[in-house]
Structure 1
Amino acid sequence: MEYSIGNFEQAVSQFYYTDAVLQAQAHQWLVTAQTSTNAWSFVWELLQKERSAEVQFFAATTLHMKIMKSWNEVPCKEYEALRKHLLEAIFNYSVGPKIVLNRLCIALSAYILQTMPGYWPNAISELLVMFQSSDFQGLAPDRRVWILLEVLTVIPEEFESMNMIQRHKATVRHELEKTTPQVLSLVQSVLAEAEKNSETNGSLCNNITTTTTTTTTTTTITTNDNSNEILCQAVRCAITWLHFGISLIDCDQLATLLVRVVIKYSINSSSTEAAELGIEALDQMLTHPDASKMPSIVMNFIQRILCLKDIINHCQDCDNQDLMTNLCSLFVTVGEAHSQLLLRCLMSEMRDVSLQLLQVILSCTNCPGNYPTQETCSQLTFGIWYIIQDELINLEPVDYSSLLPILGPIYQELVLILLRKSQYPHDSTEFSSEDKETFRWYRQDVADTLMYCCNVLHESTLEILLTQLQNTLISAKSAWQPLESCLHAFAAVSENIDENENKYLPVFFTVLQSLPFDTLDIHVATTALDVVGSYATWLDFHPDILGRVIPLLLMGLNNSDAALSATMSLKYLSRECQTELKPYAEVILQTSQRVLSEGKMKQDECVRLMYTVGKVLSILPLDSILQYLDNLLLPCVDQIKTLLEQEPSVTVKSNLLVRMKMLGMLMGTLDVNVKLIDEDEHNNSGVESKTDHQVSSHGTNDQCHSSQSQPVFIVLKHLMHVLNAVINKWSTDTSILQAVFSVFKHGVTTLLEDCIPLIPNIIDIILNSYKRLPTASAIDLAKQISLLMGRTSPHTQHIHNLLLLITVHTLHLAKPDFHTGGDLKPYTDVVELYLQLIATLIKKNPLLLLEIEHFNISDVFQFAMKALMLPELPTVRAAVGLFTAVISQSREYDALLMCVQIHGEELVERLLRCIGGEASRINIEPLSDIILVLNKKHCDNISRWLPALLARPDFPSSRPSNQTKAHFSKMVLKERVNKRKLQEIVREFSLVCRGLVNTEYAAQTSASRIATPDL
C-alpha cells in the first residue's frame, strides 16, 4: 500500500477504532512504514496541524524511532535541516496536544545525543541560548521554560535506553557529566525564583539570561508565577541529571531548595507531587556512589533533611500513605547507603546526627496501624537494621565495645516494636485473603529482623521476650494477639540461641507448659507448637525439658487445625533428639497409631508423621519394632489391597498415593543401625560429650545387625508382591510409579548392602515397569542400585541386564517406528535421567558398563547427539555431561576411544549446527564444555575436524564470512583452559550465525565482540 497521507490516516484510524484483526493489520503496515527510509519525508507532512491528534502522535513517534534506531540513514549534510525541522515542530506544538509535544521533545533529545560531541559539541549550552533567541520569542515564557526542561529531562533517560556503540556512548556520557552542573544551575534558578515569587501571580518566566564564558555557562531564570507544573518539571530534570553524579559541594543551595519544596508542598498544598519529586531528588543526590567520597558533606546534608521527620507525623494525621512511604524510604536508603559512616559518626562529634537518623528510622518501623491495610512503611526499614547489625558485629572489638552501649538500647526498643507490629489484627475481617498472605511474608521479615536484634543483644533478647510474655499473661488475658506475637518472637530467635543457654529457656518452657491449651485461640496454639520444633537442637542438649513439651505436641495431633504444626515439630524433635525420645517412644507411637487410624489428619500430615514414627521405632528393640509395625502397616497394606480391587479413579489414586508416600517415608527413616548412647555413660559425661556420640548412618548397635534383623528388609520383602501389584495395575500412571519406586529407593538407601538379597526382585519389577512405560523414576532407582552394587556384588549379572534393557528401551524412543515417531520431546525427563545415569557410571565405574555384553557405547553416543537438539536446557546439560565423561575417559578405555574417533567429527558437526541456529540460544552455553574437553583430550582430531567443517559453504549458517569462520576456528582451538572465554567465543559466533550482531539483544547479552573485520 502506498505511503500516502490518506492511507496513513486510514491506517491510524483503523488501529485505534476497529476490531483486533484489523488493528493487527494496521499495526503491521504502520510498523513497516516506520522502518522504511521514506519515513524521513512523510513524517513532516503527517505533523501538519490539520491532521488528527492520532496521526500527529504517530508521526512524532516515528520521528523519534528513526532518530534513535536509524540514524545511519541521515547524511551529515542534512543534520542542520533536521534540527531546524525539529525545532519548528516543537514551536508549532508548544500549546499542544501535549502528548505530541512530549514525543517531539524526546525526538530532539535523541537528536542531541546522536550529534554530540562530534557535530554539535556544545548542544546543551546552545539549547539554553536557543530558547531565548528570536525564534522562540513568540512562545509564552512559561512554555519556553517547560519545553526546555522537558527536553533536558529526557536526555539522560534517552541516553540509558539508546543502543550506541560503546565508544560513542562513553564519549557522550563524558559530555553529559560535564554539562550536569550547568543543567542543575538552571533547575536551581527555577526553584529559587519560584520560591521568591511564591506569593505573587503573573508570568512564570519573564526572561532567560545565558552568559557564556570560556569555562562555564550560568543560567538565570526570572519567574513571577508559582507554577506547580514547571516546578515539578524542574525537579524531574534534577532527578535525571543527578544520576550522572555531581559534587555535593555544588549541590548545597539545590539541596536547601529541595528541602523547602518538600516542606511547602507536603503541608500547604492540595497536591503533594512536587514534594514527592523533591524527596526523590534528595534521595538521588545523597545515595549516589560518589557521595561517599565526601563524608562530612554527607552528614551535613543528613542533618539538613532531618527536619523532614516532622512531616511524617503530618502524613499520619492526613492519612497520606504515599508521601509517608516516600519520606521513610528517603531516610532508610540514606542510612543504608552510608551505614559505615553513621557508625563512625556515633563515635565522633556527629553522634547526635547519626542517633537522630536512627531514631527517625525507628519511628518509621513503629508507625501506627496494621500492615498492610493501615500502613506500608514499616517493612521498608527492616533492611537497614540488618545492615547496621552486620556492620557492628564486623567491627574491631574495641569499636564494638564502644558502640554497643549506644546501639543496644535502640535494638532493645526495636524488639518491643516488632512484637507489636507482628500481632494479628483484633478484627479478623480486616484482612482479605491477599492481605493475609502479604502479612504472612511480613511476619517472616519481622522474624528475620528479630534475629538481627539477637545478634546484637544476644541472650538479652530472651530476657526482653520472657518479660513481655509474663506481662502478657498477667495483663492481657482477653486478647490472644500479644501472647501469640511473643511466642512467634521466641521461635524467630531460636537459631541464634546457644545450646548451653539455661537461664531463660527453662523458664520459658515452664510457662509454655502452663498455657491453657484447651481454651487457647488456634493461632496461639499452633505458634506454641511451632516454638517447640524451632528449639529442637537446644532440646537435644536439655532432654529433661522434653517431658514438658511432648504432651503438648501429642495433644496437637488430636486437633485437625493444629496437626500441621504438631507433625512438623515432632519431625524436628525426632531428627535432632532421636535417642533422647526413647522414654517417650511408647506414647508417641501409640498416639500416632491412633490418629492415623482415625483418618482425621490431612494426607501431608500423615506422611510427615511417618517420619517421626520411623525415627522413634529405630531406637527400639527389634521385637518391639515388629510389633508396632504389625499394628501400623497391616491396616495400610490391607487398604492398598482394597484400593487395587477398585477401578482407577481420582479418589482411588489419591488414597493410593498417600499410602505409598507414607511407606516411603517410613522406609527412609526406620534404620536400626544407629549407635545408641549408653544411658549411664551419657548421664556421667554430660552435655559436653554430646558431639562424641553423634548418630552415624553406618554405625552399629551394641550388637551387629544382619539384613534379616533390619526391619526395613522385612517390611520391603513383605511388601514386594503388593508393590508389584500396584505397578501392574497402574502401569501407565507416572505419579503412581514414581511413588512406588520412591518406596524402593528409600528402602535401598536405608539398607545399603543389607538389601542384596532383594536386588533380583527389585530389578525384575523395574524392568517389567520400564518395558511398559519408560519413566525417570525407574531410571533413578536403577542408578542408585547400580552405584551401590558395582562390579563385585553377587548380582552383577542382574545389574548388567538392568542397564542393558533400560538402554535398549530408552534408545528405542528415538526410533522412527516407535509410537512417538522418534520424537523425544514427550520423554525429555527420561532422556535426561538416562544420560545422567550413563555419564555417572562412566565417571565412577566405567567397566560396569563396558563389560556388559551387547552394550554399545556408540549407540548411546549417537542418542545423546539427538538429545542436544531438544529444547529443555537440563536435558542438553545431561547430554553434555555424557559427552564430557566419555571424552575425558577415552584415553583410558579402548571402547570409549574408538567411539570418539568414529563419531567425534559427527559430534563437532552437530555442535556447529546447534551454535549456528538449529538449537535454542539458551542451550548454547553448555556446548562449550564439549569443545573444551575435546581440545584437552583430542586436540589433534578437533584441529582437523573443525576447520574442515567450517570450510563448507553456508555452514553452519550463510551469514558468517570465511574470514569470520577461520577466525572463530583459530580462537576455539587456541583456548584449552579458560572455560568462560571459550563460552564468550562460542556465544559471539552464534550471534553472527543468527544475524543478531549489533542488535539490542546482542548489546544486552554480550560483553565483548569477536574482533573480525566483517563484524
Structure 2
Amino acid sequence: MSSAAGGGAVGVQDVLNALQQLYSDPNPSVKSAANEALQHFQKTQEAWSTANALLLTQDLPLESRLFGAQTFRSKITFDLQQLPLDAQLSLRDTLIDALAIYAAGPRVVQTQLCLALAALALQLPESQWPNVVPGMIDRFGKSADTVNVLLEFLSVLPEEVAQNHRIPVSNATYHERMPQLLTQQATVVLELLSMYIRAEGVTTSIQETIFHCLRSWLKAGEVSANQLAATPLLPLTFEALESDALFDVAVDVLCDLIHETQEIDENQAVIQVLLPRIQALRPALIQAGDDEDRVRGLCRIFVQAGETYHTLFLQHATELLPIVQAILECASYHDLDIVQITFRFWYLLATHVHKAEAEHNPAVVPFREVYEQLFAIIIRHLHFPNEELTGQERDDFRSFRHYMGDTLKDCCYVLGAEVCLARSLHMIETALAEESPTLRWQDIEAPLFSMRSMGAQVDLRENDVIPRIFAIIPRLPPHPRLRYAGLLVLSRYTEWVEQHPERIPEVLTFITTGFDRSDKDISAAAAQAMNFLCQDCCEHLAPYFGQLLEFFQSIKDQLAVDDLLAIAEAIAHVIAAMPSAEAIDSLVQFTQPLLGNVHEITLLPSPSKPDLMRAADRMEQLARILQVIGVSLASALPESCAATCSTAYGILDRLLEQHGNAYFISERTSALIRRALIFFGPRAEPTLPALLERFASCFESTGYSGYVWIIGKSIDQFGHPAGAQLHSLLARALERVTAKVVQLLHATPPDQLSDVLDDYLHTCLVTVQAAPGMLINAPIFPHAVQTAVLALGAVSPAVHGIASDFLRALFELPGTPAGAGYLEPVRQVVAEQGFAVCQAMLRGLVTFFPPENMPVVVGTIKALQPLAQDALLAWLAAAAEQLPPSAVSQEDTVKFLQALQSAPLSPEQIKPSLVVLYGASRKSRERARLDNEVVGNT
C-alpha cells in the first residue's frame, strides 16, 4: 500500500495485499508496515468506497469483509464530515442494506455494522434520520430471519450513544439526540422484547440476546426499574435462572435491575416485588451444592440486594433477615472467590448494626448472631489447607487472608474487639488443652492470624485478654508456622506493651530467641517484631541498649540483609529517644563497628565481591540509622564531630577510590553520604572539597547517577549562602558533571540515560533555586539548557517532568526579585534554544506527555513570552508545522495557529490555543486506539 503512504488512491487489491501481509507474512517488519499502511488508509477519502467494496464482495475472506465493516465504523466516528449530507444518508442506506445481507452472520460483521449505524444515528439530526428505532424495528423486526440483527442493533445503540465519547458531537446535539434515540423509545423496546421472549418457537439463543439487549438499556439508565417491573420480563428473568443456558445473563440482568433501584424511596413498589422473589431463591442456593458457577451467580444476586438495601435491614429485620442468612451461607462456601463477593456487604451492614446497638434497638439481636457465625466462618477460612500449596497458590492465599482480616474487623465493630479477641484466644486454649495427637497446627495458626488482624480494633486499656495472649504465645508448640504467627501477633500489640513496660523483658526474650537461622520467615517476623517494639517502647528501652547492641553484634553476619536493616532501624529508634548526651555516646557505640567493618574491607588488597557486598550492607545499615536519627541531635553535636565526619568520610573516600566503579558501591555510598550531610549539617562542610572532587571524578569515570545526585544535594544544602571558595568548588563540580552528561548524550539516546538525566536536571533545578549564578554565569549554561531540551524528548515521565520544571523555573527567574540580574544571559539562551523548547514541548504535548503535564507546558510557554515577545509566535507556528501528522492533522494545526491569533502574542492567548492543540491530539490518539482495535481484531 505504498500509494496510501504517498497520498495516492488506494484500491481494493491494495488493502487485500496489506491484510495478507499483516496476517500471513512471517516478517515482523512487513507486518508492521502493513499495519501502518492500513491505519493510514482508513483516514483517506478513498476508504469509504474501498470499505464498501470489501464489505459487499461475498467471496472475499471473512477478515477482509470484517475490515471493511470496521473501517466504516472508524470513518463514521472520526471522518463523517468528509461526506456531504446526501452522501451520509446514502451511507446509512448502504449500511442498513449490508446488515440485511449479513443477517445470517457472521456475528462479528453484524456487530461492527450495528456500531457504525449507532454512531451515524447520533450524528445525524432527527430531521435527516427520524424514528431510528421504529424504522429499524420495521425493517428487521418482522421476520424471524432478521430478528437477531435487530436485537444486536438495539443492544449496541445505548452503549454507543451513552458511552462512546469518541463520537464528535456537541453537548447541545448530544442532549437533543439522545432522548430521541433512547429515552423516547424505551417503552417501545420493552414491548418488543416482551413480545419476542414469549413468541412461539423462540430459541434459547434469541432469548439470551433479548436479555443482553434488556441489560444494555438498563445499564444505560434508559429503562427504569418501574418500567421493567410492569412487563412480563421481570418474572421471566427469575424463571430464566432455572435454565443453564440463560442463567448467567439472567443473573446479570437481575443485578443491574437491583442496582437501578438504589434510590429506595422512588422504587419502593419495585423493591416490594423484588424482595420476595429474591428470598425465594434461597432453596436454589442450597440445592446448587458443588455447582460453583450457580452458587456464584445466586450469591451475586443476594449480595447485590444486600448492598443496595442495606439501610433497610434494621428497619425490616424480620422480613429481610433471610437475605442476610443467604449471604452468610455464601460466605461459608468452600470457594474463596465466592466468599469474597460478600465482604463489602458485611462492612455496610456492620455500620448500621453498630449504630442500632448504640441506640439499644432490639432488632440487632439476630444480626449479632449472624456476625457471631460469620466470625467463626472467617476463622475457618483462615486455615491453611492440609495439602501443600504451590508458590503462587500460597501467595494468593496469604493475600486473600488479609481481605478476610478486614471482615474480622467488621465483626469486631459489631461484637466488640475484646469479645472477638477472647473467642480467638479460647480457640487456641481449647486446642492446646486437648493435647490430641491429631492436633493440627492450622487450628492454632488461624486464630493467631485473626488476633493479628484485629489488633488495631483493640482498646489499649484492655487488661483481660491481651495479658493472656502474651502468656500463651511463648507456650505454643514449637512448629515453625506457629512461631512465625506468634511473633507477628506480638508485633501487633507492642503499643499495649508500651503501657505495660514490665512486660518488656519477656517480650524481648521471646523476640530475640526467634532469630532462627534455619528459617528465614521466622527471622523476618522476629525482625519486624523487634522493630515495632523499639518504635513503640523506645522511651522504656534505654536501659536495654547494651543488651540490644550486643545482640546486634552477635547476629550481624548471619541474618538476611532486610532483617538486619529492620533491627538497625529498631535500635536507632531507641537511641533517638535518649537524652542528647547519652544518645550521642550510644550512636557512636552503635555506628563505629559498622564503619570499622567498611574500613577493614578498604584495607584488603583484593576484596572479593562478597566482601564488597558486606561493605555495602554496612553502609545501608548506617544510612538507615542516620535516617531515623535525622536532625534531632544536630544542635547537641559537639564541635569535635566535624573531625568525626571527616574521618568517616575518609573511609568512604578510600572505598570509592578503590571500588567506585562498582554500581552497588556507588549507590550505597551516595545514600549514606546524603544522610550524613543532613545529620552533620554545617559540620560536614570541611569534607566538601574532597567529597566534590571524588564524586565528580567518579562520575567522569563511570557515569553512575548517584554521584550526580550527591553533587546536587551538596549545592542544595550548601550553595546558599556559600563562601567564595566553596562556591567555586561547587561550581567546578557542576561544570565537570555537565561536561560528562553532554559527552554521554552524544553517544546515548536520552531514554537510555533516564537516571542520569533525572539527577542531573534536579541538580540544575536546585542550582537555579539556591545559587543561580553558579549555573547561569558559567560557560556550561547553554549546555545545561540544551540537555533539558533533549530530555523533553524522553519517554520517561520523571525525566521530561523534571526537564520541564527546570526550564520553567529558569525562564521565570528573571521576573523574580532575586533573578533580575540574570535577565540578559537567560534571554540570550532563550534566543538560542527557544524554538527547540517550543518544538519539544508541543511534540511532547501531542504525543506522550501525560495529561497532568498540560499546566507545566502552559507555564513554560508563558514564561518564554516576556523573554521573546517577537519570536515566540513564529517559534510556535514553526513547531506546530513540524508536528507528526499522525498526532495532529493539518486542519487541527491550522486551528491552533488561528487560536494564537497574531503577533505580538499575549499570555492570555497561550493556554486556550494549547488546549485546542491538545484536544486535537487526544482525538488523534483515540482514533489510533480504535484503528489498532480495528486492525488488530480483524
Normalised TM-score (structure 2): 0.83
Matches within 5 A, 1:831-850: 831-840=757-766, 842-843=768-769, 845-846=770-771
Q: Is 1:190 matched with 2:224?
A: no
Deviations 1:704-756 (A, max 9, x none): 65254x6xx78755543432222122233333111112222233333334545
Q: Is 1:243 matched with 2:243?
A: no
Query: Do the aligned partners of residues 852 and 469 (structure 1) sit closer, same or farther apart at CA in structure 2, a change above 3 Å counting?
Result: same
Q: Is 1:741 matched with 2:670?
A: yes
The counterpart of 1:553, out of the listed 507, 511, 515, is 511
Q: CA deviation at 1:234?
A: 0.9
Where does residue 128 of structure 2 map in the other structure?
A: 119
Matches within 5 A, 1:50-89: 56-62=65-71, 64-65=73-74, 70-72=79-81, 75-77=84-86, 86=95, 88-89=97-98
Contact 1:5 1:46 in 2 (8 A): no
Structure 1: which 5+ residue stretches go unaligned?
Answer: 194-222, 672-695, 1005-1015
Contact 1:513 1:548 in 2 (8 A): no
Where does residue 778 of structure 1 map in the other structure?
A: 707
Where does residue 351 of structure 1 map in the other structure?
A: 317
Q: CA deviation at 1:418?
A: 1.9
Where does residue 201 of structure 1 map in the other structure?
A: none
Q: Distance in 2 between matches of 1:97 and 1:955?
A: 44
Query: Do the aligned partners of residues 945 and 224 (structure 1) sit closer, same or farther apart at CA in structure 2, a change above 3 Å counting?
Result: same
The counterpart of 2:200, out of the listed 216, 219, 224, is 224
Contact 1:813 1:820 in 2 (8 A): no
1:549 counterpart letter in structure 2:
V
Q: CA deviation at 1:784?
A: 4.2
Deviations 1:476-534 (A, max 9, x none): 86111132122212222223334333332222111223324xx22x2221121112222
Matches within 5 A, 1:658-673: 658-669=617-628
Q: Distance in 2 between matches of 1:946 and 1:954?
A: 12
Count of aligned residue pairs for this structure pair: 897
2:321 counterpart letter in structure 1:
L
Q: CA deviation at 1:299?
A: 3.3
Deviations 1:264-300 (A, max 9, x none): 544xx4xx23111011011122213875562424532
Query: Do the aligned partners of residues 581 and 26 (structure 1) sit closer, same or farther apart at CA in structure 2, a change above 3 Å counting?
Result: closer
1:892 counterpart letter in structure 2:
P
Query: Do the aligned partners of residues 771 and 481 (structure 1) sit closer, same or farther apart at CA in structure 2, a change above 3 Å counting?
Result: same
Contact 2:428 2:447 in 1 (8 A): yes
Where does residue 173 of structure 1 map in the other structure?
A: 178
Where does residue 574 of structure 1 map in the other structure?
A: 534
Over the matched positions of the two proteins, sequence identity in percent amounts to 19
1:424 counterpart letter in structure 2:
F
The counterpart of 1:233, out of the listed 204, 209, 223, is 209
Q: CA deviation at 1:552?
A: 1.6
Q: Distance in 1 between matches of 2:574 and 2:446?
A: 32
Where does residue 816 of structure 2 map in the other structure?
A: 891
Contact 2:25 2:31 in 1 (8 A): yes
Where does residue 936 of structure 2 map in the other structure?
A: none
Q: CA deviation at 1:563?
A: 0.8
Q: Is 1:806 matched with 2:730?
A: no
Q: Distance in 2 between matches of 1:823 and 1:24?
A: 23
Contact 1:506 1:545 in 2 (8 A): no
Q: Is 1:326 matched with 2:326?
A: no
Contact 1:571 1:609 in 2 (8 A): yes
Matches within 5 A, 1:95-494: 95-100=104-109, 103-104=112-113, 109=118, 112-113=121-122, 115=124, 117-131=126-140, 136=143, 141=144, 143-159=145-161, 160-161=163-164, 163-167=167-171, 168-175=173-180, 176-191=182-197, 193=198, 223-225=199-201, 227-245=203-221, 246-254=223-231, 257-258=233-234, 260-266=236-242, 269=243, 272-288=244-260, 291-292=263-264, 294-297=266-269, 299-300=271-272, 301-315=274-288, 317=289, 319-336=290-307, 338=308, 341-343=309-311, 345-348=312-315, 350-367=316-333, 369=334, 374-389=335-350, 408-428=368-388, 431-456=389-414, 457-475=416-434, 478-494=439-455
Q: Distance in 2 between matches of 1:302 and 1:578?
A: 57
1:734 counterpart letter in structure 2:
Y
Q: Distance in 1 between matches of 2:594 and 2:875?
A: 66
Contact 2:645 2:684 in 1 (8 A): no
Q: CA deviation at 1:568?
A: 1.6
Where does residue 1000 of structure 1 map in the other structure?
A: 926
Q: Distance in 1 between matches of 2:721 and 2:13?
A: 86
Deviations 1:764-813 (A, max 9, x none): 443443443454323433444445556568xx456424421232023214
Q: Distance in 2 between matches of 1:585 and 1:727?
A: 33
2:453 counterpart letter in structure 1:
A
Q: Distance in 2 between matches of 1:749 and 1:144?
A: 77
Where does residue 730 of structure 1 map in the other structure?
A: 659
Query: Do the aligned partners of residues 580 and 852 (structure 1) sit closer, same or farther apart at CA in structure 2, a change above 3 Å counting?
Result: farther
Q: Distance in 1 between matches of 2:80 and 2:341?
A: 44
Query: Do the aligned partners of residues 872 and 66 (structure 1) sit closer, same or farther apart at CA in structure 2, a change above 3 Å counting?
Result: closer
Matches within 5 A, 1:696-775: 697-698=632-633, 705-708=637-640, 717-756=646-685, 758-775=687-704
Query: Do the aligned partners of residues 880 and 60 (structure 1) sit closer, same or farther apart at CA in structure 2, a change above 3 Å counting?
Result: closer
1:917 counterpart letter in structure 2:
R
SS of equivalent residue, structure 1 residue 820: helix
- Where relative contact order (Cα < 8 A, 6+ residues apart) is larger, the structure is 2
Query: Do the aligned partners of residues 78 and 729 (structure 1) sit closer, same or farther apart at CA in structure 2, a change above 3 Å counting?
Result: same
Q: Distance in 2 between matches of 1:400 and 1:938?
A: 68
Q: Distance in 1 between matches of 2:19 and 2:686?
A: 79
The counterpart of 2:800, out of the listed 860, 869, 876, is 876
Q: Distance in 1 between matches of 2:19 and 2:880?
A: 42
Q: CA deviation at 1:922?
A: 0.5
Where does residue 542 of structure 1 map in the other structure?
A: 500
Contact 1:60 1:104 in 2 (8 A): yes
Of 431-440 and 289-298, more deviation after overlay is shown by 289-298
Where does residue 588 of structure 1 map in the other structure?
A: 548
Query: Do the aligned partners of residues 961 and 248 (structure 1) sit closer, same or farther apart at CA in structure 2, a change above 3 Å counting?
Result: closer
SS of equivalent residue, structure 2 residue 817: coil
Query: Do the aligned partners of residues 699 and 846 (structure 1) sit closer, same or farther apart at CA in structure 2, a change above 3 Å counting?
Result: closer
Normalised TM-score (structure 1): 0.77
SS of equivalent residue, structure 2 residue 216: helix
Q: Distance in 1 between matches of 2:451 and 2:548?
A: 25
The counterpart of 1:820, out of the listed 719, 725, 746, is 746
Query: Do the aligned partners of residues 892 and 500 (structure 1) sit closer, same or farther apart at CA in structure 2, a change above 3 Å counting?
Result: same
Q: CA deviation at 1:61?
A: 4.6
Contact 1:838 1:882 in 2 (8 A): yes
Of 769-778 and 416-425, more deviation after overlay is shown by 769-778
Q: Distance in 1 between matches of 2:350 and 2:563?
A: 38
SS of equivalent residue, structure 1 residue 294: helix
Query: Do the aligned partners of residues 781 and 452 (structure 1) sit closer, same or farther apart at CA in structure 2, a change above 3 Å counting?
Result: farther
SS of equivalent residue, structure 1 residue 273: coil
Of 177-186 and 939-948, more deviation after overlay is shown by 939-948
Where does residue 1010 of structure 1 map in the other structure?
A: none
1:149 counterpart letter in structure 2:
L
Q: Distance in 2 between matches of 1:997 and 1:279?
A: 37
Select the structure that is richer in helix. Answer: 2
